[in-house]
Structure 1
């Protein structure tokens, strides 16, 4: 027989080993071996462990094969509810708690909402203004470019400049061809009559019409749902 002095250290060693094993297992087990049925866990592994279905796109499970899970999920995630029921479709979605928090969208369990991109329309844009400046005479205001050379033409042609009046008998030549007009000066302070009536200024379009991505930076992981384990008690 073992002496008490031998048994006591041996028992402590076994207890310590069991405690150490339990803590190590718990530390590494997000998807635990005896989960509550219907609970969801996340893993970085390429597969879900035994007792778990891999979640992703829409998928349906036979009621006859998973009656316990069906009793918990019911029609929340789809299915015909006669032969099959749906599992949560997590593909491309971030899971969020149900509820109606102030200032946020009210969410019911199983509700699918949200979008990865959004299109801005004229009605959805905030009210704003665009500033446009109409300067038909340039930045210096009303003015007229004239030549400082003597005029060579009595009757102007399109593109000619006004020039220094060159009196030749009774014929005053007050115009000069553009090619001979230099140097020129700007005469300001006058005005032009019979301008066209006031008209709106159209600002040309800019930018593209593509959708704006609104998804924050994310990392894809694997979601698993327990179909075998402990039936969750009601509180």
Structure 2
């Protein structure tokens, strides 16, 4: 089979067969590859005067140019994406946690992970009763509650790669010059 010039194929070996080059972003001379340059230009690198680049598919998934319904637009040669990510607080779904509170008088002055907030002593009984406002003084910058609410997670990036199989992408350096429809 004679390939069209600039066609990309998957090859099960770890080298590029004769007439092909690996799609690893290498820079080629325009003067030695004029037909190929006329097809791919500088979409993948090079200065456009003396050199041009081949596609670099190392660690990348090919993506068709254009824009599908409800999708973002992509142009030939555009690269994007990442292998890992770190979630930020504003990317996490909102959620809340209940606070355990008891309406009975408190029995401990030291809050902790096994105790909960409770009502203070009452001024009496009946409909006019109310909880006393009890306060205490503490030193400046003292921690009132040793168990605080804070951020969770380690802030470390995690892998977001889909399952994969590594294989060699090659591009035809020789072949039939493709005609346009």
Sort the TM-score into its range (normalised by shorter chain). Answer: 0.7 to 0.9
Q: Does 1:131 align with 2:97?
A: yes
Moved over 4 A (4+): none
Q: Which consecutive unaligned segments of at least 5 residues does structure 1 have?
A: 1-31, 146-187
In the alignment, which of 13, 26, 41 is matched to residue 45 of structure 1? 13
Tell me which residue corresponds to 1:180: none
Tell me which residue corresponds to 1:210: 156
In the alignment, which of 85, 98, 113 is matched to residue 118 of structure 1? 85
For these two proteins, the number of residue pairs brought into alignment is 154
Q: What is the aligned-residue RMSD (CA, Å)?
A: 2.7
Q: Does 1:142 align with 2:88?
A: no
SS state at 1:71 partner: helix
Q: Which consecutive unaligned segments of at least 5 residues does structure 2 have?
A: 109-118, 123-130, 136-146
Tell me which residue corresponds to 1:71: 38
Higher relative contact order (CA 8 A, sep 6+): 2
Return closer, same or farther for 1:83/1:143 CA change in 2, 3 Å cut-off: closer
Distance 1:195 1:209 in 2: 40
Structure 1 or 2: more helix by fraction: 1
TM-score (norm 1): 0.59
Q: CA deviation at 1:134?
A: 4.6
Q: Does 1:225 align with 2:157?
A: no
Q: Report which of the two structures shows the higher radius of gyration computed on alpha carbons.
A: 1
Contact 2:30/2:37, CA 8 A, preserved across alignment: yes
